[in-house]
């Protein structure tokens, strides 16, 4: 019985992993070669997280300097995605201010009118003669015309007939400048489509009120 137990123990010892008799069952040697990597002192007390047991290479710094974490980390999501194209800027352009053409042969009076209208943030132009006023009217395309009846080369009614021939579909608001505010002249003006009158002499406040009233009527 004792000999049987001894023989069984010998057989078990011979069959253990690493025994000479079991060389054919050993795990084949890895064909890859390994090299020794010098250890880098990181100052970290935590054990390496990699399964290989090799700590990730980090840059060491003298004591007192900050250690940049994740210095070899892959780029962030924001870096790997293309930056969105900037939105196309739309240039804000204010609407053109209403334009007023002043046709008056008395320069001093025209300058007072022009200064008053510019304080109202209106675009202004001034002409003393009817023929030049027609050319300026075609260039400016004003919303309002302040028209003196007595001009050196033609009267104001003739100016109105001229622009009606070419701008009958888009006539401006006409305000007559005159020294005659009698009913006969007002009737003629009404037939010509005149909106309002400025009776000489008038003040800057009257100019502002008449023009403002004309622009308000055009916007309604």
Q: What is the pLDDT of residues 108-166, one digit of tens each?
A: 999 999 999 999 999 999 999 999 999 999 999 999 999 999 999 999 999 999 999 98
Residue 82 DSSP class? P
Could you tell me the end-to-end alpha-carbon distance of the chain, in angstroms, rounded to an integer? 126
Q: Is residue 74 part of a domain?
A: no
Residues of the domain holding 109: 99-210
Q: Is residue 155 part of a domain?
A: yes
Q: Is residue 139 part of a domain?
A: yes
| C-alpha span between 175 and 197 (Å, rounded) | 5
Q: Is residue 20 part of a domain?
A: no
User: Which CATH number do you get for residue 124?
Assistant: 3.40.50.2300
Q: Is residue 136 part of a domain?
A: yes
- Which three-class secondary structure state does DSSP give residue 166? helix
Q: Is residue 91 part of a domain?
A: no
Q: Is residue 161 part of a domain?
A: yes
Whole-prediction pTM value? Answer: 0.57
Token pair for 111: 């300058």
Band (58; pLDDT cuts 50, 70, 90): very low
Number of domains present in the structure of the chain: 1
CA 125 to chain centre: 33
Q: Is residue 200 part of a domain?
A: yes
Spatial CB neighbours of 208, under 8 Å, sequence gap ≥ 6: 116, 117, 119, 120
């Amino acid at each position: 019985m004792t000999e049987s137990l001894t023989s069984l123990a010998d057989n078990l010892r011979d069959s253990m992993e690493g025994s000479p008799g079991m060389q054919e069952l050993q795990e084949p040697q890895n064909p890859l070669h390994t090299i020794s990597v010098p250890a880098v002192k990181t100052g970290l007390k935590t054990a390496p997280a990699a399964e290989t047991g090799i700590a990730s290479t980090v840059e060491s710094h003298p004591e007192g300097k900050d250690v940049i974490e994740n210095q070899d980390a892959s780029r962030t999501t924001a870096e790997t995605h293309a930056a969105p194209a900037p939105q196309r800027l739309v240039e804000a352009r204010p609407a053109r201010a209403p334009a007023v053409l002043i046709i008056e042969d008395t320069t001093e009076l025209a300058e007072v009118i022009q200064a008053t209208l510019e304080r109202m943030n209106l675009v202004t132009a001034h002409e003393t003669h009817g023929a030049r006023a027609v050319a300026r009217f075609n260039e400016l395309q004003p919303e309002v015309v302040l028209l003196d009846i007595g001009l050196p080369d033609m009267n104001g009614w003739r100016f109105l007939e001229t622009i009606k021939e070419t701008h009958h579909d888009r006539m401006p608001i006409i305000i007559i400048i005159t020294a005659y505010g009698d009913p006969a002249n007002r009737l003629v003006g009404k037939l010509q489509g005149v909106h309002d009158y400025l009776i000489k002499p008038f003040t800057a406040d009257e100019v502002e009120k008449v023009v403002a009233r004309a622009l308000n009527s055009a916007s309604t």
